[in-house]
Structure 1
Amino acid sequence: MSTSKKVFVLGMARSGYEAAKLLVSKGYEVIINDANTEQNLEQVKELQSFGVKIILGSHPDDLFDNSFDMIIKNPGISNKHKYVEKALELNIPVINELELAFRYFPTGVKIVGVTGTNGKTTTTTLIYEILKKASLDVLLMGNIGYPVCSFVSQLKNNSIAVMEVSDHQLCNVVDFKTDISVLTNISEAHLDFHGSYDIYKSMKKRIFNHHTKSNISIINSDDKEVLSLTEDIDSTKKYFSFSSPNKLGCEVNDGYIYYNDQRIISIEEIKIKGRHNYENAMAAIAVSKELGVENDAIVNVLKTFEGVEHRIEYVKTINNIDFYNDSKATNIKSTQTALSSFTRPTIVLLGGLDRGQSFDGLKEYLTNVKLIVAFGEVKVRVDEFAKQCQIPCKVANSLHEATEIAYTLASDGYVVLLSPACAAWDQFKDFEVRGNLFKEYVNNLESK
């Protein structure tokens, strides 16, 4: 990419900020536009000191024109945005910060990309921790919360970039290519953003873009949607399966995980429990073995890794009531997984952004649920769903109130589970803010 060109960054946040810094360092003239005026003031001042022009609060019709050579779009912004549509009319490329960063990666960097509807963050983190334990030069980045552009200057020819890649990021990639791609599973999600399940699946498939037989795909062979979607990809395929014998990757046999017939670890030794976590562990094992990691590093991490924040995260026990934060459950499939993880009486907090989603997929997972507490924009529909299922429901005006209701009505030995099955954007900046507030509310319960 040549320098001294003009780039329009649409959406600031972390990714826009880091993209702008990288662009400035490469000699570009940069303009950032974001409708949200609430930005990190220090970051705004820093970018302005570099000569970046920042326009906040609206998207003026005359701001974007044919003087720009490229748009760097925040992954959360729709491709139907007026600036994006205008760029396409003017044949101006639209990419995101992942694609931008990739174009400046040193030649010898190996890229491991992890996508899927659920399990991305845990799998990505496990891979990173194992490779780090094996003393490899590895960096963790991507949708996990660390913009890829911020790592370009740190990468060396022998570095390994381990990245979580979302469907939103995969919308606007062109040249981006991994050496190893992982597809954990596929189920309906983000249909309001993509418009259809087929489009969503086609975005996920882009994790295998530009693959040849020299590249590796790690595929969940227990997931029929995944198998169908990857049927015609050109990668060398490796698989992981919890339920079926599989000699081309990871399998579970007699309580042990094997990779290519080599025994790796007992299921009982893995610290994070539940089938979904064993699947995440198998995907991480497969990547690690393909990169030549010895078993000692793999076993050490799997025996000690406690999971990721906001994903079925144990908060604390108060009066023999266990509280779990699963704020990262922004879709039905994630909440199914969380509910499947407990056999004790459970109170579940459901709610958030109303995307018109059906909650029917939760019905068969409510066996142990004694109460649903509904909150957020979708609370009325959650209440209606609870009535259909003949499960008691309390409607709360806030997450704070929902937490207090759950604690008040929980009995000895109960689980109180925040697993909303909805995005957080109706009331919170993101699921992390929601999860952190829930933990704060739980911690405050002890003083009551």
Structure 2
Amino acid sequence: MSQVNALTNYHVVIGLGKTGDSAVRHLLAQGENVIAMDTREEAPFASELRATYPDLQLIEGGLDASVLINAARIIASPGIPLATDEIQRAIDAGVPVVSDIQVFAEAANAPIIAITGSNAKSTVTTLVGEMAKQCGLKAAVGGNLGTPALELLNSDIDVYVMELSSFQLEATEHLNAKVATVLNISPDHLDRYDSYEGYYQTKYKIFNGCEKAVINLDDNLAQPKTLNCPEQIGFSIDGKGADFVLDRTAQPWQLIVEGDALLSVDQLKIKGLHNYSNALAALALGHGFGLDMDGMLKALKSFPGLDHRCQWIKQVDEVDFYNDSKGTNVGATEAALKGLGPEYAKRIVLMLGGVGKDADFKVLRPVIDQYVSKVIVYGQDQDIIAKDLSGVDLDRAESFEQAFEMAYRNADHKGAVVFSPACASFDMFSGFEARGEAFKSMVEAL
């Protein structure tokens, strides 16, 4: 510890996952004195950092309060709760505690489009990035999605498109984004926050210092009561008075921008009300930034969605196939059916199965009754699912392959097969990705 005490004006990076690793490397490149710290006995990136920076002072197996309270600044990784005793002692001693996102915002030399929300932030972030690239800009996309923010810093970037989690926003006071949005709010991470209000107030920090705020007019909680952005842009799939709106009185439904019909939903590869909301949010964000509308629409029409997340695969014999393998719980499957259901008017065949994790599948009964013509169950917990869904038109399969064949055979003309299993995959697959790839391969083979 004497070596640590010999340092002056040092920064402490807490947490040595991908985010912490990027923070250490960035700060050292800036010539800062750095001490790295992790509660784990063997931090994920510790050995790589030691090999690259032999003189780096690194503390593992706990947080050293004496080091923290004497730091010039602490950079806390998202997985580290700020309520941790040692961090609170440093805060009480007047030590600034910030996120890697705050450090990134201070160093970024291009404007930021910032996106958060309980759901769909990865989809919207990716889509906005594609829109920016289609419009000829050099866009860097990351943050909570993919590449850590500090690894994106580059002098040859026109726009940063950032997905941000509530954990990242906790210690981000001045993001100063060009355009920012909270896509939606639903209960989440309540083990981290003292209250539901604490969770969504943290989300609202994305608007701090922003020039333009994109607001979901369909979600009251996504609308801060006080907002000091100079300009606000609204979007709605419920026909509310927004700049960007879904017109469900037209056939097919139309995406309307400032009163003008720009695109019908049958021109999109992504389907479902949730994805039409995502499309409107992305268009609003791009418009707020100043992207060309024609370029944005071209990117939107070609966007297939993210892998394994209610992803449209293709249409066979006028049946659409959707891979929602990431739907590993009943809430995700319920959301998928609510989003896709209005498109198909009781013409959905739903594939469910896997490891149920003691879930209550009865929760799915209302959306199944409303939108699903047939349920096919497979895997370890199919008996539990079948019991919870007693009375539903349901068949059991002995294998994943048979479940797919039964779903295809039962699909209605102009209907859909939706693979949203509401279960974990580990009875048959290494993870949801492998499970989704298996489904996609069978669709492609038709």
Q: Output one character per residue of 1:221-273: Cα deviation in whole Å (capped at 9) or x when no partner.
A: 122332xx423212222111122153534443633212112332222111211
- Name the residue aligned to 1:141: 142
Partner of 2:227: 233
Q: Which residue number in structure 1 is paired with residue 19 of structure 2? A: 15
Structure 2 counterpart SS, 1:192: coil
1:196 positional shift: 2.5
Q: Which amino acid aligns with 1:271?
A: K
1:219 aligns with 2:212: no
- Cα deviation, 1:35-83, whole Å, max 9, x if unaligned, reads 163735874455434x333444x22666844332222222122223343
Q: Indicate if the aligned counterparts of 1:334 and 1:421 stay in contact, CA closer than 8 A.
A: no
Tell me by how many angstroms 1:126 deviates. Answer: 1.2
Q: Distance in 2 between matches of 1:4 and 1:281?
A: 50
2:351 is paired with a residue of what secondary structure?
strand
Q: Percent identity?
A: 26
Contact 1:325 1:419 survives alignment (8 Å): no
Task: State how many pairs are aligned.
Answer: 413
Equivalent residue, structure 1, for 2:114: 113
State the partner residue of 1:430: none
Shift of 1:388: 5.1
Q: Is the 8 A contact 1:316 1:322 kept in 2?
A: yes
Q: Give the unaligned 5+ runs of structure 2.
A: 1-6, 342-346, 412-416
Evaluate the alpha carbon distance shift between residue 272 and residue 409 of structure 1 in structure 2; reply closer, same or farther with a 3 A threshold. Answer: closer
Counterpart amino acid of 1:119?
A
Q: Deviations over 1:81-117 (max 9, x none)?
A: 34323322333222221111112122xx221111111
Please give the alpha-carbon distance, in whole angstroms, between the structure 1 residues aligned to 2:205 and 2:360.
27
Partners of 2:123 and 2:289 in 1: CA distance: 19
Structure 1 unmatched runs, 5+: 395-400, 428-432
- Cα distance in 2 for partners of 1:206, 1:421 equals 33
Counterpart in 1 of 2:4?
none
Question: What does residue 398 of structure 1 align with?
Answer: none
Sort the Cα spacing of 1:41 and 1:67 in 2 relative to 1 into closer, same or farther, 3 A: closer
Residues 413 and 30 of structure 1, relative CA distance in 2, 3 Å threshold: farther
Q: For residue 344 of structure 2, what is the aligned residue in structure 1?
A: none
How well do the aligned residues superpose, as a CA RMSD in angstroms? 4.0
Change (3 A) 1:33 1:290: same
Tell me which amino acid in the other structure corresponds to 2:212. I
In the alignment, does 2:50 pair up with 1:48?
Answer: no
Q: Secondary structure at the match of 1:168?
A: helix
Q: How far has the Cα of 1:324 moved from its partner?
A: 5.3
Distance 1:445 1:305, change over 3 A: closer
| 1:193, distance to aligned residue in structure 2 (A) | 2.3
Does residue 437 (structure 1) correspond to residue 434 (structure 2)? The answer is yes
Query: Which residue number in structure 2 is paired with residue 167 of structure 1?
Result: 166
Counterpart of 1:366 in 2: which secondary structure? helix
State the TM-score, normalizing by the size of structure 1. Answer: 0.77
Distance in 1, matches of 2:405 and 2:243, equals: 51
Equivalents in 2 of 1:241, 1:151: separation in Å? 32
Pairs within 5 Å for 1:73-92? 73-92=76-95
For the 8 Å contact 1:220–1:239, the answer to whether it is kept is: yes
CA 1:62–1:92: 2 relative to 1, 3 Å: closer
Shift of 1:135: 0.7
Which of 70, 74, 90 aligns to 2:73? It is 70
SS in 2 for 1:346: strand
- What is the match of residue 288 of structure 2? 290
Q: Judge conservation of contact 1:189–1:331 (CA < 8 Å) in 2.
A: no
- For 1:238, give the aligned amino acid: I
Structure 2 equivalent of residue 243 of structure 1: 238
Taking the aligned partners of 2:74 and 2:315, their CA distance within structure 1 comes to 49
CA distance in 2, matches of 1:179, 1:136: 15
Partner SS state of residue 431, structure 2 = helix
Partner of 1:33: 38
Tell me if structure 1 keeps the 8 A contact 2:179–2:212: yes
Q: CA 1:353–1:13 in structure 2 vs 1: closer, same or farther (change >3 Å)?
A: farther
User: Which has the higher Rg, Structure 1 or Structure 2?
Assistant: 2
Q: Kindly state the Cα deviation for residue 179 of structure 1 after the two structures are TM-superposed.
A: 1.7
Q: Give, in whole Å, the separation in 1 of the partners of 2:131 and 2:18.
A: 27
After superposition, the C-alpha distances for 1:174-219 in whole angstroms (9 at most, x for unaligned) are 22221211222211122222243211111111111234xxx21111
Contact 1:187 1:333 in 2 (8 A): no
Separation in structure 2 between the aligned mates of residue 322 and residue 267 of structure 1, nearest angstrom = 14
Cα distance, 1:326–1:176 mapped onto 2, change above 3 Å: same
Aligned amino acid, residue 102 of structure 1: A
